[in-house]
Amino acid sequence: MLSPGSHRSHSRRGSNASHTTSIDDTAYGSEDHHYTNLPLTPVGGNKLDSASLNTSFSPTFTVSDTASVHSKDKGKSPRDDSGDPDGDQKAGSIKRDSSQIAEAVPLPEEDIDPTPFLFNPWKLASLVDPKSLEALQDIGGVDTLIKGLGTDAKHGLSERALRQDTMSVSDAISDGGRAASPSKEDAPYGATLQDRKRVYGENILPERKSKSLLLLMWLAFKDKVLVLLSIAAVVSLALGLFQDFGTPPETVQCGDDPTQRCTLPKVDWVEGVAIIVAIVIVVVVGSLNDWQKERQFRRLNEKKDDRGVKVIRHGKEMIINVKEILVGDVALLEPGEIIPCDGVFLSGHNVRCDESGATGESDAIRKASYGECMAELSRKELSKKDCFLLSGSKVIEGVGEYVVIAIGRKSFNGRIMMALRGDTEHTPLQLKLNALAELIAKLGSAAGLILFSSLMIRFFVQLSTNPERTSSEKALAFVQILIISVTLIVVAVPEGLPLAVTLALAFATQRMTKANLLVRVLGSCETMANASVICTDKTGTLTQNVMSVVAGSVGIHCKFVRRLNENQARTNAYEQGGPTSERKHATDFSIDQAELNSVLDPPLRKLFNEAIAINSTAFEDLDPETGKPVFVGSKTETALLRMAQELGWQDYKQTRDFLEVVQMIPFSSERKAMGVVVRNEDGSFRIYLKGASEILTKLCVRHVVVRPRNESSGKEKDSVVTSEIGEMEKDNISRTIIFYANQTLRTIALCYRDFDVWPPKGSILEDDEVPWRDLAQDLTLIGITGIEDPLRPGVSEAVANCHKAGVTVKMCTGDNVLTARSIALQCGIFTKGGLIMEGPVFRKLNAPDMLAVIPRLQVLARSSPEDKKILVEKLKNFGETVGVTGDGTNDGPALKTANVGFSMGIAGTEVAKEASDIILMDDNFTSIVSAIMWGRCVNDAVRKFLQFQISVNIAAVIITFVTAVASDTETSVLSAVQLLWINIIMDTFAALALATDPATPELLDRKPDSRTAPLFSVPMRKQILGQSIYQTIIVLIFHFLGNSIFGYHQEENQSIQLEHDRTLGTLVFNTFVFCQIFNSVNCRSIDNRRNVFSGITKNWYFIAITLIEIGIQILIVFVGGAAFQVRPIGGREWGISILLGFMSIPIGFLLRLIPDEPVERLFVKLHLMADPNEPVLPIQSAERGNWNPAINLIRDNLNTFANVRGGRLRSSSFVGKSRSSRLQEAGVQLPSLLTMIPTLVASSVGAGWSPNPGSLSDPSNADPSRSSAALMEGKIQIHPDTSQDDEIYKRWGPPPSPIP
């Protein structure tokens, strides 16, 4: 049981009350991480008994404890607390089945001098690996541990301990709040910050050694195809050198006189060198891209791991960067936190940790203080408790404090992370494209093999038909066949495809970070492209999460409003124009919020202030930007604390320190409330509760009484006056909640209850604490506050953009249904044909109703994380791609279940962030729209490159194959070096140019693609086929008919003929290259939008790369010479090349004019694509109405007789089978039902079955609050603009009334 005397201060510091505190332990999965039993090395004279450390492990922790609060009695030593230090220590050991556990990452043996501290860092790290209470006892317990680290359990590290300069020991320990009596034990208090970092290190892991540029080059060069090409190039170079310098020079006729001979230049060696240079360029460019990509992702990962941690330093709570935490810091625990370092628990309330990710232990482990663990150990009691905190584990419940004992690579999680470091995983799109690239490579390899075989057949034939060839010429011809075949494979292999994805992702994630989107899982970028449903939170995502109390009521009758004169509409104390006597609640009155103290007696003020200050986890800290003190924590709690501060009530910290906390009830999404139990000055006990007004007010039986100033006696009362809550008071409370909720105010109720003794009589303790059900009854209502959270700017436009993009937005909020409806209307989520319902109603729907509701559900209010998870699972079953936002610990399952999980960077817990794929750093819904846009941008970039690459591949392979086979010399119109240059254009330059198009709002003008949509759309297939045919035709025409076209006749002068051939070859090469350059512009559009130049000026990468390609091509033509087998050409040839290349753009325009439907039918007929209209099996849909299923069967059987013609049944048995399945679901047997019609009808009516459920009442002529009240009672509301012919209208009845 929790001892009331164990706390003298409020130990719950700075946790976010909006975080949920219970979680499905299996939601995050678990993997056993295994550990060896490591002996501890005694340091500083603390001798350890090695026998006590030989602890074996079992899957269940058995360290004992009896309470959740650390005793702060400084008079007792740890040995005194143990009761029997020499008792059976095995009772407190931790055991693990060795058959299930492998060896863990061993603790390194490092000789670190711990001076001036008392403990070696690895010794402290070994306390938790394995967990050993005996080892902690042997070093003197927690008190000695704290002294040995030079810290203080209450104040944390002192200011001087954090300074860079040295100090005297006496000054240091005085600064720590202790008597200045220097001794060896006090030496740690004189340690400097450098000493602490030298001995215990910093909370960062050493950077993973990234691959050097040279290593990346070597890895790129090890590609099998490039190695084969390199061997061929070296052989070609050797033969070329032999041909040029080892044989007589080759001569040709160079004049009209046949005897006039000219010597050909010795350039056979050039091709080998050029191929080697081209290979080097391919390797260097590819490795540079990989190196740059690795640097970008390393920077993103550094930002991803960045977060804040709450600690106590020199007596003040503050938030520091996780990398700045030090050994000796006193850190705070709160629900949803992922513990950043190893530690020993000091004190707290009901702290439970999920250590399944670290140890494989599926059950939550309760944390207790060292003294309590030792007390249980001495009694030989076994329970699932311990006092050790493992880095990487998750706090799922409770709040507390612990002292840090290991950080960085010395921590439990740090050693595991160091051992598990590996390369980045591929995204789904990368894997899909790698598979596609492999398929294309296989096809290209097949083409190269066929080409090699064909040319070799010709080569062997020519051995006999052309015996004049020398042996070196034959060898060179063979090598050229090998080179052109291998080069064809190099061109066919689309190694630029994975590069395009990588570049697109790197570019997108960089830009998304600037747009407040931190991508944790790269695959989420691609998935968001086709998101069809977004389930979003309300608070902080759609709204600003800048909350302030603007209205409320103290008791029932006192209605206060911030700046009442300007906001008369925010009070419901008076009805317009009606005299007081005619008012339903005549005793209600209004007052300005700033004047609230004038009507509240001191006892009531004190009560109200305590209800706000004590039952809160928010605290005050300095704003890092302004340097001014601000409240940090839940926005709801900070709003209440600001109100108390503005009214001049007692400082929250003094209020907390004055009262002793006995039990805390952290916020839970199931309870929708939180509470704290305190001991009053007179020895009695009181619980303060705060939470959802419509829930807590139903638990209240009394309310505080406040009277107007003119009715007050003028004497201050000594106690709080209360009165019973009757029917009129209940009506008043209900109207007040509805009134505030309809103004989009979040309503929070504050209540209390007094107890004479603790625990209350008749209460059965659960885990040493009084259960909620025994506390949440017979409450007294203090007041209801209306907290305003304005809509974020731009949210309405963002929701409209989602609808335009074919993305449905659904609001899932824990707030009340009226506030949710109002916000949904303002931002455009609640639209014609939509439904609103509450979580409790939703989760009780049967399967057919849920199937009918989910597609139309637009607002799910008062929803629990489990409701959200159910909704996500059902939507995924419908084939939707779902994105979900979440901020609490219990949102983890829904975030993991969704296709893409968005966590909140500001309000989100660490567990939510860990479970998410993308972090919204500004908690803004508009950022989700940016994620959709960038996701589509990534997918489009890959498709653009795919369209370009495949069209070039097809053309290059066909041209090379046809011209090489048709050539007498087994040579292609495009030489190996030319093909390698085209390969660089295709792979690297095109990837850079097409993968860097920025995201534009136009991307939201189309609907998302389905999951089964192919990578190649019909417009893409048209472009690939059309462009490759065009390029192939013009190249083959110029190659085979070029002499005729340009009037080149067969010349007897061989030098002139060689010049004509080289000119024609240069023209063909130049034309083909310019076709690719202009086709890259054409590929900027992958749909039927005709303007391919749209937004081109915003992509400087594309413009620069295109200009570079043109510049290099001009350089090659004029300077390339023998290496590229080209010669300078004149203006006519340049004009033809550029004009034919430019024709790619108008041809693309014409292709886009061709309707997609007939082309799609042609492709399907030719089996070039799957039929998208192929029928799928029908899904059983719910019947309209809720009739007895047996009657449906009878109706089917009766209809059968209408289809009997000539003794034959024309009706199908399908309907009967369909009904049978539903009858089995309903548990109805199938006797001969035709004779049972009267009985069935009568029993159906008696059982309450009817064709349609009862419609909602129409209160348009009654009190306007009635429709809201009905909605709060669990009815389903349909948008009032919904057509009466709509199926949802017929099923769920007419809408209530026009929305005010």
**Active-site amino acid positions:** 537
Using CA atoms, how far apart are residues 1072 and 643, in angstroms rounded to an integer? 74
DSSP 608-673: HHHHHHTS---EEEE-TTT--EEEES-HHHHHHHHHHHHTTPPPHHHHHHHSEEEEEEEEETTTTE
Using CA atoms, how far apart are residues 757 and 754, in angstroms rounded to an integer? 9
Q: Quick check: 635 and 789 in contact, CB under 8 A?
A: yes
Cα dist from 904 to 526, 636, 1246, whole Å: 20, 16, 51
Using CA atoms, how far apart are residues 168 and 163, in angstroms rounded to an integer? 13
Using only C-alpha atoms, the chain has a radius of gyration, in whole angstroms, of: 39
Using CA atoms, how far apart are residues 1277 and 1268, in angstroms rounded to an integer? 10
Bridge partners for 397 per DSSP: 352
Cα dist from 725 to 701, 792, 854, 1270, whole Å: 5, 38, 39, 22
Structural tokens at position 259: 């005897």
Q: Quick check: 318 and 383 in contact, CB under 8 A?
A: no
Q: Quick check: 1015 and 432 in contact, CB under 8 A?
A: yes
Q: State phi, psi for 620 to the nearest 5 degrees.
A: -100, 135
- CA nearest to 521, candidates 223, 900, 881, 833: 900
Residues 6+ positions from 862 with CB-CB distance below 8 Å:
672, 692, 813, 814, 815, 816, 817, 838, 839, 840
- CA nearest to 820, candidates 811, 831, 808: 811
Q: Quick check: 534 and 807 in contact, CB under 8 A?
A: yes
Residues 6+ positions from 676 with CB-CB distance below 8 Å:
12, 614, 615, 661, 663, 664, 665, 687, 688
Q: State phi, psi for 1108 to the nearest 5 degrees.
A: -65, -45
What is the number of other CB atoms lying within 10 angstroms of the CB of residue 578?
A: 10
Helix axes 925-966, 1054-1082, angle to 10 degrees: 160
Q: What angle do CA 399, 401, 403 make, to 5 degrees?
A: 155
Question: 3-class DSSP state for residue 980?
Answer: helix
Q: Which helix (H) or strand (E) holds 310?
A: strand 308-313
Question: 3-class DSSP state for residue 589?
Answer: strand
What is the number of other CB atoms lying within 10 angstroms of the CB of residue 1118?
A: 12
Q: Quick check: 551 and 559 in contact, CB under 8 A?
A: yes
Question: 3-class DSSP state for residue 1267?
Answer: helix
Q: Quick check: 366 and 68 in contact, CB under 8 A?
A: yes
Residues 6+ positions from 1061 with CB-CB distance below 8 Å:
none
Maximum pairwise Cα distance, the chain: 136
- β-pair type (261-263, 251-253): antiparallel
For the chain, give the number of residues.
1300
Structural tokens at position 404: 């840090």
Q: Quick check: 960 and 974 in contact, CB under 8 A?
A: yes
- CA nearest to 54, candidates 160, 156, 157, 130: 130
